[in-house]
Structure 1
Amino acid sequence: MVNLKSGATFSFPPALAQGLAGGSPVDLAEVEVTPSGNGLHWEKLDADFSVPALLAGVFGMAAWMAKVKMKAS
């Protein structure tokens, strides 16, 4: 769950996000906000995401997104 400065809250299932799928609850909880405030970093999972990209529905590279789309169909 991401709490934005505006007061809005955004959440997504980790299984949608490249690098977070299969992460343990402990590893998923160890997220850092980048100094700019626009990014999220999971050191143990070697995963980085832009908050604006997540809000736009981008959860990984094109190949990952194609797989996610196929599963949702």
Structure 2
Amino acid sequence: MHLNSGLELAIPSHLVEGLTDATPVALADIEVSPTGLGLHWPQLDADLYVPALLQGQFGSPS
């Protein structure tokens, strides 16, 4: 992920709820929300909120 500030982030998929067992093809199919604050993987029906990722929250508490 490349942010407007110049910060680049890479997060191992096994740390993110909903992405753990995803194939590379499914991970590559990603959409950014119109606001730029959300990420969506349609093949996985998984969504992440970018500010939560920056806070180190990789899914729900469970």
Letter in 1 for 2:5: S
Q: Which has the higher contact order (CA 8 A, sep 6+)?
A: 2
Residue 11 of structure 1 deviates from its aligned partner by 1.0
In terms of fraction of residues, the more helix-rich structure is 1
Report whether the alignment pairs 1:26 with 2:28.
no
TM-score by length of 1: 0.82
* % same residue: 50
Consecutive unaligned residues in structure 2, runs of 5 or more: none
Corresponding residue for 2:46? 47
Residue 42 of structure 1 deviates from its aligned partner by 0.3
After superposition, the CA RMSD in angstroms is 0.5
Helix, strand or coil: the match of 1:27? helix
Which runs of 4 or more aligned residues in structure 1 lie more than 3 Å from their structure 2 counterparts after TM superposition?
none
For 1:4-56, what per-residue CA distance to the aligned partner results, in whole angstroms no more than 9, with x for missing partners? Answer: 01111011100000100010001001110000111100001010001110011
Corresponding residue for 2:8? 9
Answer with 1 or 2: which has the greater Rg.
1
